[in-house]
Amino acid sequence: MAEISNKFLVFLLVVAILVTIVGTWYSIDRVNRLAGVTGYGTAGYVNVTITGKISINITQPYCGFGSGHVTEGYDYAILAPGSTGEPPCCELGDTKANWTNTTSYAPDCMVIKNVGNTNAKINVSSDKDAATMIGGSSPNVTVWFEDKTSDACIGGAGLIGYPGSEISTANITICNSLDTTNDEMYVGCYLKIPKDAIASAKTAEWTFTGTAAP
Residue 11 lies in a domain: no
Domain count, the chain: 1
Residue 164 belongs to a domain: yes
Is 111 within 8 Å of 44 (Cβ atoms)?
Answer: no
Task: Using alpha carbons, select from 203, 190, 208, 188 the residue that is nearest to residue 88.
Answer: 188
Q: Does residue 202 have a pLDDT over 70?
A: yes
d(CA 181, CA 134): 37
**Are the C-beta atoms of 85 and 108 separated by less than 8 Å?**
yes
Q: What is the CA radius of gyration of the chain?
A: 40
Q: Is residue 84 assigned to a domain?
A: yes
Bigger pLDDT: 111 vs 3: 111
Is residue 50 included in any domain, yes or no?
Answer: no
Q: Which of 2-11, 38-47, 50-59, 80-89 has the lowest mean pLDDT?
A: 2-11
pLDDT in tens, 97-143: 999 999 988 888 899 999 999 999 999 999 999 999 999 999 999 99
Residue 202 lies in a domain: yes
- Is the per-residue pLDDT at 38 higher than 60? no
Looking at residue 106, its pLDDT comes to 81
Whether 42 maps to a domain, the answer reads: no
Assigned domain for 22 exists: no
Report the predicted TM-score, pTM, of the whole model to 2 decimal places: 0.76
Q: Which domain holds residue 203?
A: 56-212
Average pLDDT rounded to a whole number, residues 203-214: 94
Average pLDDT score over residue span 192-204: 96
Is 15 a domain residue? no
